[in-house]
Structure 1
C-alpha cells in the first residue's frame, strides 16, 4: 500500500456492498483502501471524521448545460461547478448546445475546454453534438475525448443546433456505432408535436397538452427499432412519459443496447401543482401528472430507468416569461438534485444507497468513468458528506448558479450536504455559522479514454 496521506472515517459509509462503518485511506487523490472503522490509522495520515453524517461517493451528473462560452450570462463554468459542489456533485458532463460555439467539431471542443480551464470547481467532461451536416466530425470528436454525441429529433430551441430527421438519424447512428460510440437522444417526435394543440398564454395545462406522451413514445419506439437494426448503443435523455416504459423494458429484455435517464423534476414535481404563469416549471419534455410520476419511480426501482440526472438548463430571468409557449424551457437544479430526489425517495421507502446507485454509480458507468461512482480502492477520492435527516427550506438567494430562479423555491427538502471532497481535498463546506465556503477551483477537464 502506498503511503496514506488521509483517512476519512464514517460510521455510515455508502459502499458498493452496503452501508457500514469504515475508514477510507487516501493516497495521491485516490482511494488506497477501505478499512474497518476500528483499524489502526496509518502512521502520518491526517484523520477526518464525518461524525453522524453519511459518506457518499461524489455524484456524477451526465446532463448539464453550462452554456459557456457564448451564453455565459445564462450560466458559466465557475458558477455551475460551484452549484454542483454545493449539491455533492463532483463530476459533470457538459452538453454540446447552448454554448457558442456548440461542441460539434474538435476545434469547438478545444475552445470550450480553454474557457473551462481554471474555472471548474469539480471535474468536467464534454458531450459532442450530432447535427445534420457534421457526420464527418463525429469520429474526430470521439478520438478527441468526448463521451458521446447528443442529437435532437425535434427543434432544440437554438438555431445553431438543428435536429436530425429520420434519414440523418440513421446515418449519424450508423457512423457512431461504427466506432463504438454512444448516441444520446432528446426523444420527442416532431410530427406528434406538430399535431398537438398549441396555445399561447400562462395556463400550464395548455403547455402540457402541446407536448403529449405520444411525442416521447413514438420517438422512443423508433429509436429502439433503429438501435436494434444497427447494433448501436443509444441512451434516451430525460424521459418523462411513463407510457414509453413497456417499450423500453421489452427492448432491454431483447438485448437492445439501450439506457434511459429521468430527472429530479419528473420525480418530485407534478403537473397538478404547477401554478399558471410559473414558467420556472417549464421544461421539455414537460412535468407530467402524479400518476405518471408513480410509474417512473417504479421503473427506477426495477431498473427499467437506469439513472437520474439534472438536465440543469438555466437561462436569464427575463426569458422565463409568464407565457408558457414562449418562455425558455429548462430547470436549474444542480445544487438541489440530491436533496430533492432523496426527499421523495425516502417518502417512498427507498434508501440512500438507491439514490447513490441512480445518481453516481450508474451515471459513472454510462459515461465510462471507471474512476468515479463508488467508494472502493482504485477510484478517485470524491465524496459527498450528507446529513440525510437534516432539512432546509430552499431559498433562491442561497443558490450558487448564476440566475437564481428555481422551481423548488420555498420547499422543505431533506438531506443537507455538509462537505464535498474532490480527489481527497475538501472543496466545499456548509458551515452553519460562516455559510458556504469553497476552495479555489481544482477540477480537471476529463476526456473519454480511447
Structure 2
C-alpha cells in the first residue's frame, strides 16, 4: 500500500504530523506533497525540522493568489504527482484550498480519498472553508471524523455510516506531541521572550484574522472596547499583517497599541505560540483550530464569532461564542477571570476530540480497508434498484449490527425521541425510530 498526504498550510502540517509519524512507524510506503500555498519562512524546511516531521517529497510552490488561480495551479501540480506515484489513497486534512484541489484531482483519477477532520459544518456558505470541506466530503471514500456530532452531519447528508470513522481529532495528538518539543526548545521569538510571560498572572491571548471580523469596522470597535475594560489581564496579541493593515486603515491600531495592558507583537512561530497559549488564563479568538487547541490544553476560550464548525467545544463547556459584542466579551471574560469555580468548570471540560490516539485509529482503518480491497474505486452496479429506503419504530432489544444482519439492511439515521444518535454496531435500537436502506 502507498499513502499520499497532501498539505498546504501550517494547521494541516501540524495536524497531519501524528498521522505521518504513524504511517512511518508501520513502514507503510508514503509520499508527502506540499502545495506551497504558504511560502514564508514558517512553511520552509526549517518548520518541518523544528516539528520533527519528514520533509515533503514534493513541493509544487503555488504561492498566493485568488481562490480560483491558486486551486487551479494546485490541481495541475497534484495531478502530475499522483499520476507518477499512483498511491492507493490520498489523505487531505480540513478545509483549505489544498483539500479541495487534492480531493477533486484524486476523485477524477479514481483514487480513494481519506478526509481527515471530515463532517465539520458551520452552515455558513459565505465561508470558503465551508465550500471546501463540503466538496471534499462529496469526493471522499473514507471519513475520519472528530466527534459523533460531526458524523451525524454526514449521515444527514446521506453518507453511509460504513465509511465513517469517529477517530477523535489529531489536534490532540499534535498538541501533546508538539508541546513536548516546544518546552524542550523554549521560547525563541524575542518579542515574546521579553514579555517574561512566566511572571504574568492573567494572560489573555488574542488572535483575530477572519475577514468577517477585521474587515468590518463596527465589529473591530466592539472588540477593542471590550479589551479596554479587561485591564487587569495582560493581553498578548500576535497580530497578523493583514489585521494590522486593516486596523491602521480604520484608524484603530494606535488606539489599541497605546493600551498599557495590551502587548501587540509580531506573529509567532507555532512552537512559541503553543507555549503562549498553554500559559494563558483565557484565549480570545476567531480561529477554528485554536478552539480545538484551547480545550485540549484546558484553557477557557471565548470565540469572536456567532457560529462555529466546532460546536462540540461549546457543548462540552470549554468554549463560549461571544461574537464581537462588547458586553458578551466582557461579561464572560470577567466570569473566567473573577470566578474560580466558573473558570475551573471550563478548564475541566471533557475534550470531545479524544485522548490522543486519533492517528492510530485513522491508520488502523486505512489498513483494514486496504486489506479488504475497499480502497479500489469501481463503478457500482444496480444503483437505482439495489435498495429501498424505509423507516421503522423499533420495539425490541436489538443492536444495530444484529438488525442489519437480520434485515439485510444498512441503518442510516437513528432518532431517540430527543436527539439523533450515531448508529454504532453496539447501539440498542429499542424505542428508537430508524431510517434504513433495505437491500433487495
- Normalised to the residue count of structure 2, the TM-score between the two structures is 0.27
Larger of the two Rg values belongs to structure: 2
- Normalised to the residue count of structure 1, the TM-score between the two structures is 0.26
Higher helix share: 2
